[in-house]
Amino acid sequence: MSRPLVIGVTGGIGSGKSTVCAMFAEFGIPVIDTDQVAREVVVPGSEGLSAVVAVFGLDILTPRGELDRAALRKLVFQNPALRVQLEQILHPRIRAQVAAHIAKVTTPYCLVGIPLLSDRKSQSYLDRVLVVDCPEEVQESRVMQRDGLTREEVIAIMKTQATRAQRLALADEVIVNGGDLHAVRAEVVQLHQRYLALAEQTVDA
């Protein structure tokens, strides 16, 4: 079988990416979550974890020898240079692992959830990008309610992500998730048919 059509799904924190991906999954479409893949590449005993420890030291490990993601996140959140170092270690390994997952896909297309997608050049395996969009004030209220954060904390997180305009500039398709799940589901149904047709065209080309 030829390679499946690969759809990157992105959106800011609280936009509802997971909700949209779950709706596609109801059609039997595989969803490769890069957050989960990021965990896979740093499991205890992995070469990825060894590379992280070599740069950041043993303090970012839990007593059980697992990566203390909260401690590492706090460290790089306060130091952009360290964040770049971490990305240089993890991103190539994440891309390789995503490619391995894609190679196992047997459906006409699959989704790859990429929360922090900011450019397409570094994600050359993507055929299309679907952006889940919503107003920033909706993002803020959702994350405050979901994670128990203050508005200031949510805004600080949002500032580390691509802007809404930057995300939309990457989009081939956009789903607006303002809270009406019936409308979102209707858009997912339409896009599912569209992606099946595009995948068929790709195979025939």
The string of DSSP letters for 39-86 reads: HHTTSTT-HHHHHHHHHH-GGGB-TTS-B-HHHHHHHHHT-HHHHHHH
pLDDT of residue 135: 82
Whether residue 141 sits in one domain with residue 97? no
Whether residue 95 sits in one domain with residue 64? yes
Report the alpha-carbon distance of residue 40 to residue 34 in Å, rounded: 9
Whether residue 174 sits in one domain with residue 191? yes
87-124, pLDDT tens digit by residue? 999 999 999 999 999 999 999 999 999 987 877 777 88
Whether residue 160 sits in one domain with residue 66? no
Whether residue 82 sits in one domain with residue 7? no
Least confident among 4-8, 60-64, 135-139: 135-139
Whether residue 43 sits in one domain with residue 24? no
Report the alpha-carbon distance of residue 205 to residue 199 in Å, rounded: 10
Whether residue 194 sits in one domain with residue 130? yes
Name the domain count of the chain: 2
Q: What is the pTM of this model?
A: 0.85
Q: Of the candidates 104, 138, 162, which is a domain's last residue?
A: 104
Supply the range of the domain harboring residue 82: 35-104
Whether residue 148 sits in one domain with residue 129? yes
Whether residue 147 sits in one domain with residue 117? yes
Whether residue 117 sits in one domain with residue 22? yes
- CATH number of the domain enclosing 202: 3.40.50.300
pLDDT of residue 203: 61
Whether residue 152 sits in one domain with residue 131? yes
Report the alpha-carbon distance of residue 52 to residue 169 in Å, rounded: 33
Q: Of the candidates 104, 129, 156, which is a domain's last residue?
A: 104
Whether residue 126 sits in one domain with residue 96? no
Q: Is 28 left (phi over 0), alpha (psi -120 to 50) or beta?
A: left
